[in-house]
Amino acid sequence: MKDLIKLIGILLFTLLLACSSDSGDDGGNGGGGGKDDVWDKSRTAKVLVISDLSAGNLFPNTNYSSVVNTIKATEQNVILLNNTNVSFSATEMLNPAAKVALQSLYMPYFVPHGKTGNEYLGNTILLGQALNEMQQTVLSADCWMFQAEIPFTSSLKMRFLSGSFSSEDQIAAAVSSIKNNLFVSTLVAGTVKRNIVSKLETSLSTALTKDSYMLNIVDNVNKSSEYCIYILGSSKWKLRDTNESAISGDIKSFLIQIELLK
Amino acid sequence: MNMMNKIRYLIIYALLGLLANGTLMAQTSFRLMNFNTRMSGQMVNYSAKPFATLIKNYNPDFIVLQEVDYFTARNGGKDFTTELAAELGMFSAFGAAIVYQQGEYGVAILSKYPIQKISNNPLTSSSADMKEKRTVLYIDVILPGSNEKVRVAATHLDHSTDNVRLDMARQLDSYVGNSFPTILAGDFNAKPGENAVVQGMANWQRICNNFPTFPAIPTSKIDYIFAKPTGKWTVKSYEILKETGISDHCALVMDVEYNK
């Protein structure tokens, strides 16, 4: 009998030790309850944003080489080229991002956020692989939000969304869409006009529970820029690093590293 | 003229004005070109430029392409779709059918209008006769003016047997669905009387004629343009471009109108 009690005691103690050693890992849907004090780079997505953070066209001329060189020199999972507007007439079109994609060996996906009489205004997502599925949510007539599943390690995929916002209406529509697409792997990146950042913050806090998401406004050297970069996602994402570098003139690259916590 | 007549005339003029602006017009027109590129330009040193030159002459809204290479060894590791998109300034989508020569091989669609959705879907067959898996790629776009969402699809069926192609045609019909007005173009590797065309595409309106499309001086009809829903499409013009010098297929150019 004593031996049996001893055996049960040993088993219980072993079980207790086993449970306590797991306590730092993923606790399920506890809202980012994972270990986040150590940066796990093997679970990190790298988003490269190239922008001058203005409303102007990223490519006012046909000199793409500095941007192409930056893309080729930077390891990343997704590239966001901001304001790669596509001009058109009845007989001709000019799509600078397609030229950049060709030269840097990426596949371009255009995300519109406005339209004039002779231009589609928008961003281009560059990816290292052709997508089998991609869908854009129509936020307003000419402003869409990109969505696709994108691998960022050999075994991890993110549900990547991207949109650029210059009006409160667009933010309201975007937040509504994000609410319906906020899964653990959801990561949203884009630009937002600086004077409506507070609208983005309040809309999110109204639509979503506090612990279900993270929002980071990426700090940049020119804090008075008209636009800024936002990173938004489920609370399982943690912003680890941003690296701002000058490319050419006012054009800069922002390499943003975000870890998907266990 | 009494007051009632004045009001009637005012209403008629207002309606005519709206019609002239296209506000009430339910018709939607566009130009589509279909072209099998013969291994992404094998006849022209795998360059997209001669294709761009030809396409510019016709200024289509959509270009549907088959035999498209994506970084294969044979084309020198080039992305034919993006090369052509860069030349034309258009928006593009590539759909891989198979992994091939260190790259991929499939179909592509270029569009003058931003692409709202891309879906690439595998076509296969349980038959041992199947030589290669194939694909149906479709894109959704919102046409300016009418704001009509249309679906444009591309395919290239296997060159093995009619039964295999019938399997593939049925699958592509299921993938493409019936959500939006849809136009599909491609190399069916099938004559007009074959089951893949007659039975497999029974839900579609064939909007091209039976004139031959292959080879460059054509003797066989194997390239097609279909649309659905049936009975809603009017062909305004249709041209078969022979002896282009850049492919062993003819290019098809069609002006088509969707009547809501």
Chain-chain contact of B91 with A122 (C-beta, under 8 angstroms): no
Chain A residues with CB-CB distance to B93 below 8 A: 130, 134
* Alpha carbon distances (Å) from B245 to B43, B50, B85, B147, B250: 8, 9, 21, 37, 10
Tell whether A74 is covered by a domain. Answer: yes
Per-residue pLDDT at A2: 55
Q: What mean pLDDT is reported for chain A? A: 90
CB contact at 8 A, B41 and B48: yes
The residue type of A247 is I
Q: How close, in Å, is residue B212 to chain A by CA atoms? A: 29
Give the count of domains, chain A.
1
Is B141 near chain A, with CB under 8 Å? no
Per-residue pLDDT at A245: 97
Tell me the sheet residues that pair with B139.
Answer: B118, B152
Q: pLDDT tens digits for A152-211?
A: 999 999 999 999 999 999 999 999 999 999 999 999 999 999 999 999 999 999 999 999
- In the three-class reduction of DSSP (H, G, I as helix; E, B as strand; rest coil), residue A24 is classed as coil
Q: B84 — phi, psi (to 5°)?
A: -70, -40
Cβ-based contacts under 8 A for chains A and B: 83
Q: A71 — phi, psi (to 5°)?
A: -60, -45
Residue A102 host element (H or E): helix A96-104
Tell whether A144 is covered by a domain. Answer: yes
Distance CA B140, CA B117 (A): 5
The count of C-alpha atoms lying within 13 angstroms of the C-alpha of A195, restricted to the half-sphere facing its C-beta, is 4
Distance CA A183, CA A208 (A): 12
Domain range for A91 is 36-260
Is B95 near chain A, with CB under 8 Å? yes
pTM of the predicted model, to two decimals?
A: 0.89
Identify the CATH homologous superfamily for domain B26-259.
Endonuclease/exonuclease/phosphatase (3.60.10.10)
Tell whether A54 is covered by a domain. Answer: yes
- In the three-class reduction of DSSP (H, G, I as helix; E, B as strand; rest coil), residue A84 is classed as coil
CA nearest A192: which of A218, A154, A214? A218
Per-residue pLDDT at B15: 47
Chain-chain contact of B114 with A132 (C-beta, under 8 angstroms): no
State which residues of chain B have pLDDT below 50. Answer: 15-26
List the domain boundaries for chain B: 26-259
Is B90 near chain A, with CB under 8 Å? yes
Q: How close, in Å, is residue A132 to chain B by CA atoms? A: 5
> Chain A residues contacting B, CB < 8 Å?
86-88, 90-95, 98-99, 101-102, 105-110, 112, 120, 122, 130-136, 138, 144
Q: How confident is the model at residue A61 (pLDDT cuts 50, 70, 90)?
A: confident
Distance CA B204, CA B193 (A): 15
The residue type of B91 is F
Per-residue pLDDT at A21: 38
Rounded to the nearest 5 degrees, what angle is found at the Cα of A58, between the Cα atoms of A53 and A62?
160
CA nearest B186: which of B123, B141, B243, B235? B123
CB contact at 8 A, A113 and A142: yes
Per-residue pLDDT at A219: 85
Facing B94 at nearest CB: one of A86, A107, A144: A107
Contacts by B231-239, CB closer than 8 A, 24 or more apart: B231/B205, B232/B181, B232/B205, B232/B258, B232/B259, B232/B260, B233/B183, B233/B205, B233/B207, B233/B257, B233/B258, B233/B259, B234/B259, B235/B207, B235/B208, B236/B29, B238/B207, B238/B208, B238/B209
Q: How confident is the model at residue A20 (pLDDT cuts 50, 70, 90)?
A: very low
Tell whether A248 is covered by a domain. Answer: yes
Sorted by sequence, the CB contacts under 8 Å of residue A206 that are 6+ apart come out as none
Rounded to the nearest 5 degrees, what angle is found at the Cα of B143, between the Cα atoms of A82 and B139?
70
CB contact at 8 A, B67 and B105: yes
Is B119 near chain A, with CB under 8 Å? yes
**Domain containing residue A168: CATH number:** 3.60.10.10
Per-residue pLDDT at A23: 36
